[in-house]
Amino acid sequence: MSRDEGVSTRADMAEAQEAARQFAAILAATSQYKAFALARQQLQHDAEAQRAIQDFQRQQHYVQMTQMWGTVTEADVQELRRLHEALMRIPTVQEYVHSQEELARTCQAVAHIISEIIGTDFVPHRSGCCG
């Protein structure tokens, strides 16, 4: 790369980063993002929900470890399911999950539009169940 090309590429990048910031600002002003940000804040301040998240994560980690060691029991898995169900019954968690899904749909729609215009995937594909 020549010196001129290097300068041009850096200028290009700075401009594209600025365009990305402007795009993000408009995304942040949508009702979907605002609902998500509010739900996230409410979840962070909900002590009961935070305790339930910690309990679930602790058990999830334990099940993953015991699965690796081959010592996992049906009771461990049942307990994980019970904690997940308890977590999903908490209103702030429900609102967070719901608003995240709505925001994800919005992000997928805009990523699709951008990909069509640039002629390549704006966001890399995530593989499904089988890798």
Name the site residues for other proteins (rule: CB under 8 A): 8-9, 12-13, 15-17, 19-33, 36, 100, 103-104, 106-111, 113-120, 122-129
Determine the length of the chain.
131
CA distances for 26 relative to 30, 55, 128, angstroms: 7, 37, 30
The identity of residue 39, as a single letter, is A
Give the residue with the Cβ less far from other proteins, 60 or 108.
Answer: 108
Nearest distance, CB of residue 73 and other proteins, angstroms: 30
Give the residue with the Cβ less far from other proteins, 70 or 128.
Answer: 128
Nearest distance, CB of residue 31 and other proteins, angstroms: 7
Nearest distance, CB of residue 27 and other proteins, angstroms: 6
**With 0-12 CB in 10 A as exposed, 13-18 as middle and 19+ as buried, what is 55?**
middle
Give the residue with the Cβ less far from other proteins, 25 or 68.
Answer: 25
φ and ψ at residue 11, rounded to 5 degrees: -65, -40
Q: What angle do CA 53, 35, 111 make, to 5 degrees?
A: 95
Nearest distance, CB of residue 108 and other proteins, angstroms: 5
